[in-house]
Amino acid sequence: MTTPLIHTEGRVLAAIDRSTYTESVARHAGWAAARLGAPLELLHVLDRHPEVAPAADYSGNLELGEQERLLSELAQLDERRSALAQEQGRLLMQEAKGFAADMGVTDTDTRQRHGGLVDTLTEQEPGVRLFVLGKRGGHADFAKGHLGGNLERVVRAVHRPLLVASRAFRPIGRVLVAFDGSATTRKGIEMIAASPLFRGLEIRVLMAGKDGETPRAQLHWARDVLAVAGFEVTASLRDGQPDIAIADAVREEGIDLLVMGAYGHSRIRQLIVGSTTTTMLRTCPIPVLLLR
Amino acid sequence: MNTLTRLRQDWLGNIRGDVLAGLVVALALIPEAIAFSIIAGVDPKVGLYASFCIAVVIAFAGGRPGMISAATGAMALVMVTLVRDHGLQYLLAATLLTGVLQIAAGFFRLAQLMRFVSRSVITGFVNALAILIFMAQLPELIDVPWMVYAMTAAGLAIIYLLPRITRAVPSPLVAIVVLTLVAIALKLDIRTVGDMGDLPDSLPVFLLPQVPLNLETLQIILPVSITLAVVGLLESLLTAQIVDDLTDTPSDKNRESTGQGVANIASGLLGGMAGCAMIGQSVINVKSGGRGRLSTLVAGVVLLLLVVFAGPWVKQIPMAALVAVMIMVSIGTFSWASVRDLKTHPKSSSVVMIATVIVTVLTHDLAKGVLTGVLLSALFFARKVGRVLHVGSVAAEDGAARHYTVTGQVFFASAETFIAGFDFKEVLQRVRIDVSRAHFWDLSAVGALDKVVLKFRREGTQVELIGMNEASATLVDRLGVHDKPDVVERLSGH
């Protein structure tokens, strides 16, 4: 398991693409950057897919200078597409910058990079304290309940906290922290206590599972840490599977933001039964902050 | 990017495009495989089995998705003598050995040697290949009834004119079908593919070549296998580069080398001849929308199915139709731009290109042509860099001393120029030679400097050398100087 690090330096990086999540991602990122007092970077990844042929000609013959002709034709096609994508990206970023500014961020940088989303984010990781992504990318909006193919890979690839934006931004007042007593979530509690991101928010710590002495003690510890840090905090224990307990709490208690550890289980187990993290990302209608 | 993602992208990233392009390529491969079998002097089935095996195996083992490999003209030309003198079984044995050599080349990462093959040599290779493919068609066009000329001309007309009407069907296929139908309908008495030897009547079967396993066999096949391995890798890596450029994606050249070897071993064990990547077919594949490994696999499998199940029809294809297709291939392979560029390109580049073509066409051996080209390029390069040398001097005010400054590259090709830069006739008490802005690359350079110093001394002049350490830093055969952070200062004159 990776040790979650508390990063107090670096920028907030939001991955923007053309989807219904654009505004929400920009606003969530703006909210986080403003609270953290961190610079915000809006990143648009131009992911060209050279493995897919842009055109096909079945004439099957080779004319004079076919190779040169084909090369210039394919290069022109790519050029036109890329120029268009770049221009669209530029407009998109302007729009997103506006939304972020609404949230009170002034220090916003916009950047476009070529490459795959996962690779690009991994490259940028060193200078980043928080990633912000939409639950789904531009291409995956049609299948409801289906995670953006990229998101799950990003969640696995990056090692910094990741804020997954829901479809629309809603002012955040009440935060639910999914706690299981593990080292990861204990570090998470300490991080919440220390981070300006949560200052002044109402925190609810939730533990799922059977009642007992150990969980109670762990829950008390969490509550104390947060209370000492000056938070208005309640802690509760719910019986049942973590994913169901969390979903119920989110629905019943009017939660605005869910904070949880990312992928606590082994990969083998995830392949077979999936994980609480994936389920929560898929089913929760609210933004989720994943801690590593 | 992880392996699974890459695998999925290589195989399933472009399914529709790959399947359709694979079909187009399969149809285009049939005439080529037959024609190249005929060049090599074996039955058409040897080339067809080879094309099937190589395409299918390379789809999995190759390092360049979307590239088409099969029986090729370049390889066929190399095996002619072996087949004529020793027969098919020795060819199969040579094919296996070629595979082994190519796997070794992949293992030892010899693909990086391709960087010594300059663009002019590559152009020469391509042009020579086109010329040889064209010349191989001439026997079918000499001393034949007039109908053959008419048929060939009609075939070429269909191939080049049909795409102006529709690009939905491969025009070479239409040419073959139309000419075959005409020949059957008019009962023309002209040669057909069936006259050239056996066609496949079943799926290929596993068999070991029937050759004695002794030193004599090795002596017969080894030279041919080495040439085959070299030519196969040259054309494959060159084609991989072309596909890289066309699709703007990278490839793994060493994996490609090993893959070619595995494919050739498979081909040899299933009764096929050695093959390699095909420039023309790979271009056709990309043009038809093929990008992934699936396109190569589809091409191979469809080729076999077509030939095994449509054998009786394939037999009836007139040779004239095949000749028309091969003329198209040679015209399409030839780099016409290189002829136009002869006027504008540097003379040395043109000489390298033309020498590569001439040697290849005369020897029918692409390996010899490329070797000639590479050697010539190296010579021309040495001569050019040898000119990057300047020996300047300033006389001291009293006229008794002189300060020489050497700038540039001193090595075997410029040692004479270096010595000639000094004036030994001048009567001097002291000479100072500053070589800190020069590079001494080899022993010829050091020898030349010794000579200069000695000559001055004999004239009674005191010699002071400055900057010898820096100048001779390049003497050490230390590769990878580019790893050092101060390389720019070091190589740009300290």
Q: What's residue B476's pLDDT?
A: 59
pLDDT at B7 over 90: no
Q: What's residue A21's pLDDT?
A: 86
* Mean of pLDDT values over B300-307: 93
Closest CA in chain B for residue A49: B13
Q: Would A77 be classed as within a structural domain?
A: no
Q: Would B193 be classed as within a structural domain?
A: yes
List B residues 284-313 in contact with A (Cβ-Cβ < 8 A): 284, 286-292
**Does one domain contain both B67 and B176?**
yes
Q: Which of A235-244, B270-279, B352-361, B427-436 has the lowest mean pLDDT?
A: A235-244
* Average pLDDT of chain A, as a whole number: 84
Q: What's residue A212's pLDDT?
A: 84
**Does one domain contain both A23 and A143?**
yes
**Does one domain contain both A140 and A179?**
no
Q: Which of A280-284, B78-82, B253-257, B258-262 has the lowest mean pLDDT?
A: A280-284
Rounded CA-CA distance B374/A94 in Å is 54
Q: What's residue B492's pLDDT?
A: 54
Residues of B with CB below 8 A from A64's CB? 331-332, 336
**Does one domain contain both A150 and A210?**
no
Taking each helix axis as running N to C, give the angle between helix B15-40 and helix B293-309, from 0 to 180 degrees, rounded to the nearest 10: 50
**Does one domain contain both B121 and B251?**
yes
Q: What's residue A147's pLDDT?
A: 53
**Does one domain contain both A118 and A192?**
no
Rounded CA-CA distance A16/A14 in Å is 6
Name the residue with higher pLDDT: B397 or B375.
B375
Residue B465's CATH number: 3.30.750.24
Q: Would B218 be classed as within a structural domain?
A: yes
Closest CA in chain B for residue A62: B332
Taking every pair of C-alpha atoms in chain B, what is the biggest distance, in angstroms? Answer: 102
Beta bridge partners of A44: A112
CB B211 within 8 A of CB B217: yes
Give φ, ψ of B428 to 5 degrees: -135, 150
Closest CA in chain B for residue A73: B246
Q: What's residue A149's pLDDT?
A: 64
Rounded CA-CA distance B133/B155 in Å is 17
pLDDT at A253 over 80: yes
**Does one domain contain both B55 and B153?**
yes
Beta-carbon separation of A62 and B14 below 8 A? no
Q: Would A96 be classed as within a structural domain?
A: yes
Residues of A with CB below 8 A from B279's CB? 67
**Does one domain contain both A115 and A141?**
yes
Q: Would A100 be classed as within a structural domain?
A: yes
pLDDT at A217 over 70: yes
- Of the residues A132, A148, A165, the one at which a domain ends: A165
Closest CA in chain A for residue B290: A53
The string of pLDDT tens digits covering residues A37-54 is 999 999 998 877 888 888
* Mean of pLDDT values over B72-91: 95
Q: Which of A256-260, A274-278, B80-84, B239-243 has the lowest mean pLDDT?
A: A274-278
Residue A203's CATH number: 3.40.50.620
- Can you give the residue range of the structural domain that contains B121? 8-335
Closest CA to B367 of B98, B104, B36: B98
Q: What's residue A264's pLDDT?
A: 54
> Shortest CB distance from B242 goes to which of A49, A50, A67?
A67
Share of chain B above pLDDT 70, in %: 95
Q: Using 50, 70 and 90 to split pLDDT, how confident is the model at B9?
A: confident
Q: Would B341 be classed as within a structural domain?
A: no
Maximum mean pLDDT: which of A41-45, A58-62, B68-72: B68-72
- Of the residues A115, A135, A165, the one at which a domain ends: A165
The string of pLDDT tens digits covering residues B432-457 is 999 988 888 888 888 899 899 999 99
Instruction: Provide the number of structural domains found in chain A.
Output: 2
Q: Would A60 be classed as within a structural domain?
A: no
- Of the residues A165, A185, A205, the one at which a domain ends: A165
Q: Using 50, 70 and 90 to split pLDDT, how confident is the model at B161?
A: very high
Q: Would A263 be classed as within a structural domain?
A: yes
Q: Would A270 be classed as within a structural domain?
A: yes
Full-model pTM = 0.83
The string of pLDDT tens digits covering residues A110-160 is 998 888 888 889 888 998 999 999 887 654 444 444 455 678 778 878 888
**Does one domain contain both A246 and A133?**
no
> Shortest CB distance from B171 goes to which of A60, A64, A67?
A60
* Mean of pLDDT values over A153-175: 88
- Can you give the residue range of the structural domain that contains A279? 174-286
* Mean of pLDDT values over A218-245: 90
* Mean of pLDDT values over B74-93: 95
Beta-carbon separation of A57 and B289 below 8 A? yes
Residue count (chain A): 292
* Mean of pLDDT values over B22-26: 94
Q: Which of A261-265, B230-234, B372-376, B465-469 has the lowest mean pLDDT?
A: A261-265
List B residues 11-30 in contact with A (Cβ-Cβ < 8 A): 13-14, 17, 20-21, 24, 27-28
pLDDT at A3 over 60: no
Q: Using 50, 70 and 90 to split pLDDT, how confident is the model at A2?
A: very low
Q: What is the DSSP string of B326-360?
A: HHHHHHHHS-HHHHHHTTTS-HHHHHHHHHHHHHH
Q: What's residue A227's pLDDT?
A: 92
**Does one domain contain both A157 and A261?**
no
**Does one domain contain both B254 and B175?**
yes
The string of pLDDT tens digits covering residues A184-215 is 888 889 989 988 999 989 999 999 888 888 88
Rounded CA-CA distance A59/B48 in Å is 22
**Does one domain contain both A45 and A153?**
yes
**Does one domain contain both B206 and B322?**
yes
Q: Would A117 be classed as within a structural domain?
A: yes
Closest CA to A221 of A258, A176, A189: A189
From A290's Cα to the closest Cα of chain B, the distance in A is 23
**Does one domain contain both B177 and B66?**
yes
List B residues 42-71 in contact with A (Cβ-Cβ < 8 A): 65
Beta-carbon separation of B249 and A51 below 8 A? yes
Q: What's residue A180's pLDDT?
A: 85
Instruction: Provide the number of structural domains found in chain B.
Output: 2
* Mean of pLDDT values over B139-152: 92
CB B82 within 8 A of CB B94: yes
Write the burial class of residue A130 (CB in 10 Å: 0-12 exposed, 13-18 middle, 19+ buried): buried
A25 residue type, one letter: V
Q: What's residue B122's pLDDT?
A: 93
Q: Would B343 be classed as within a structural domain?
A: no
Closest CA in chain B for residue A74: B246
CB B95 within 8 A of CB B266: no
Write the burial class of residue B419 (CB in 10 Å: 0-12 exposed, 13-18 middle, 19+ buried): middle
Q: Would B3 be classed as within a structural domain?
A: no
Q: Using 50, 70 and 90 to split pLDDT, how confident is the model at B231?
A: very high
> Shortest CB distance from B28 goes to which of A51, A53, A60?
A60
Q: Would A2 be classed as within a structural domain?
A: no
Residues of B with CB below 8 A from A58's CB? 20, 24, 167-170, 288
ipTM of this predicted complex?
A: 0.83
Q: What's residue B494's pLDDT?
A: 43
